[in-house]
């Protein structure tokens, strides 16, 4: 045991913090050799072909680099469909997937072609190396590749296909080559379909392969570790951003490249704001803290929410509301079985919330529950935090969230003892052939478990010494 006195320099405390985390497995290499393989991506392209109509082509556009301000860009994030099909993590690229054999201008047959940025050694000194055509062939396994500049001259008659599938690019600053594509379409009468491709990708991405589930599990495990560390460290006088910083430090230290979405860390009255992201409030004694966070690992996102008392002890009112949400979630999770309607978990959770809020006198009729529980309970999870899916019957190997909540803002039409209590509990659930598997069970959820964990010392407390 190493004793840290109040006289110990803070920098030494920070050094020890990093040292202890490295010993306890917090520091791991980003390059864990668990990236999706080129065989995975080629298999997904082949699965898409099986869904496509005969004599059709599907066109995909990569993500774009977006300007944050002046000459500073946001960190690039690949379009999920494009990554799913190629593994490429670069902008300004176009992928064409043919249902049937397509003959290139040199006479060679292919069923796919990728256009991507050419390498530029001068630019790579500023922004890093690109794959280029050769790297695409060797690393991604896509043998028919060309530079993006070649797409404008690419000899393809889109009117020769019975259907041209693509997803409209409606957001500002779309892919640089989208206009070229639109120009090629306008030169001849073609059967353009902007709907079917969304449907195809939803079917494919809803059902996760083992390699995907491995990455989802890793993202969730990292997320649970971050939440647990924040639970142990938080106390009155800290700020919402302190909890956010702790959570996201753990994410990075365990190899997550990014957050799956902006962290939602709301205390007190902010716990009643569903997608609160400011995270600036100073936390006081009786605040509850909603931590809705998710690490992104190799493209796949987690989405876990826990709500806990800043002072480490639930009040009686907080405990009553918390247990309603807990029981509502349990009812929802029980419905996460193959063949159940996608909305079955929400319906089950809502029934519990309605009954119990009426018992407490907070509402008088079931329909009034919408005042305090006003969002859906589930969404798919994967490459997007709100992932693609059919929203039909639940199927094995899909992952959904179950996240009921009760939010009673100040001034609500109920006894003021309930005011300012906002509680959400969210878990990531794998649909299996039998019983649901709660992938995020690695972080405590009951009142007693949370209070017990919050009594433990956090390594982040070393920074205060």
Q: How far apart are the first and last CA of the chain?
A: 15
Q: In this structure, how many other beta carbons lie within 10 angstroms of the beta carbon of residue 389? A: 24
* 3-state SS record for 298-353: CCEECCEEEEEECCCCCCHHHHHHHHHHHHHHHHHHHCCCCCCECCHHHHHHHHHH
Which positions are annotated as active-site residues? 71, 275, 292, 303, 375, 379, 386, 403, 407, 424, 426
8-state DSSP, 281: P
CA distance 31 to 122: 26
Question: Largest Cα–Cα distance in the chain?
Answer: 78
The two tokens of residue 136 are 């695409």
CA distance 261 to 241: 15
Q: In this structure, how many other beta carbons lie within 10 angstroms of the beta carbon of residue 169? A: 16
By C-alpha distance, which of 379, 386, 48, 45 is closest to 197? 48
CA distance 250 to 240: 16
Burial of residue 426 (number of CB atoms within 10 Å: 0-12, 13-18, 19+): buried
CA dihedral of 108, 111, 117, 118, whole degrees rounded to 10: -20
CA distance 32 to 28: 8
Sign of CA dihedral 222, 400, 288, 360: negative
Would strands 399-402 and 427-430 be described as parallel, antiparallel, or unpaired? antiparallel
The two tokens of residue 29 are 């290499």
The two tokens of residue 44 are 């997904």
* 3-state SS record for 29-58: CCCCCCCCCHHHHHHHHHHHHHHCCCCEEE
The two tokens of residue 79 are 């379009």
């Amino acid at each position: 045991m190493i004793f840290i006195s109040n006289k110990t320099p803070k920098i030494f405390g920070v050094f020890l913090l990093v040292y202890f985390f490295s010993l306890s497995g917090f520091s791991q290499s980003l390059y864990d050799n668990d990236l999706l393989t080129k065989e995975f991506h080629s298999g997904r392209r082949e699965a898409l072909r099986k869904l496509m109509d005969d004599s059709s082509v599907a066109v995909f556009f990569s993500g774009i680099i977006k300007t944050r301000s002046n000459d500073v860009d946001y960190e690039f994030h690949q379009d999920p469909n494009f990554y799913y099909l190629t593994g490429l993590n670069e902008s300004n690229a176009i992928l064409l997937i043919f249902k049937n054999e397509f003959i290139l201008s040199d006479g060679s047959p292919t069923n796919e072609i990728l256009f991507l940025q050419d390498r530029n050694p001068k630019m790579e000194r500023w922004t890093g190396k690109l794959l280029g055509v050769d790297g695409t062939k060797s690393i991604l396994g896509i043998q028919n590749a060309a530079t993006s500049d070649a797409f404008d001259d690419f000899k393809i008659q889109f009117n020769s296909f019975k259907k041209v599938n693509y997803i409209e690019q409606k957001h500002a600053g779309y892919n640089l080559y989208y206009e070229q594509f639109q120009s090629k379409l306008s030169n001849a009468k073609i059967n353009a379909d902007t709907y079917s491709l969304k449907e195809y990708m939803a079917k494919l991405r809803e059902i996760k392969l083992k390699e995907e589930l491995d990455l989802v599990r890793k993202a969730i495990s990292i997320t649970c570790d971050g939440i647990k560390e924040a639970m142990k460290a938080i106390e009155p006088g800290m700020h919402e951003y302190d909890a956010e910083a702790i959570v996201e430090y753990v994410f990075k230290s365990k190899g997550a490249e990014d957050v799956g979405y902006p962290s939602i860390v709301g205390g007190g009255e902010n716990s009643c704001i569903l997608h609160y992201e400011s995270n600036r409030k100073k936390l006081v004694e009786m605040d509850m803290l909603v931590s809705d966070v998710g690490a992104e690992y190799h493209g796949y996102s987690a989405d876990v929410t826990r709500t806990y008392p800043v002072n480490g002890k639930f009040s009686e009112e907080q405990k009553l509301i918390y247990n309603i949400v807990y029981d509502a979630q349990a009812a929802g999770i029980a419905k996460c079985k193959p063949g159940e309607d996608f909305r079955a978990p929400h319906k089950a959770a809502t029934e519990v919330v309605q009954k119990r809020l009426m018992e407490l006198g907070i509402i008088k009729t079931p329909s009034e529950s919408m005042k305090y529980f006003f969002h859906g309970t589930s969404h798919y999870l994967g490459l997007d935090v709100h992932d693609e899916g059919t929203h039909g019957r639940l199927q094995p190997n899909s992952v959904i969230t179950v996240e009921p909540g009760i939010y009673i803002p100040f001034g609500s039409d109920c006894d003021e003892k309930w005011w300012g209590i906002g509680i959400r509990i969210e878990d990531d659930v794998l649909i299996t052939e039998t019983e649901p598997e709660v992938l995020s069970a690695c972080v405590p959820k009951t009142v007693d478990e949370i209070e017990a964990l919050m009594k433990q010392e956090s390594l982040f407390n070393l920074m205060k010494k």
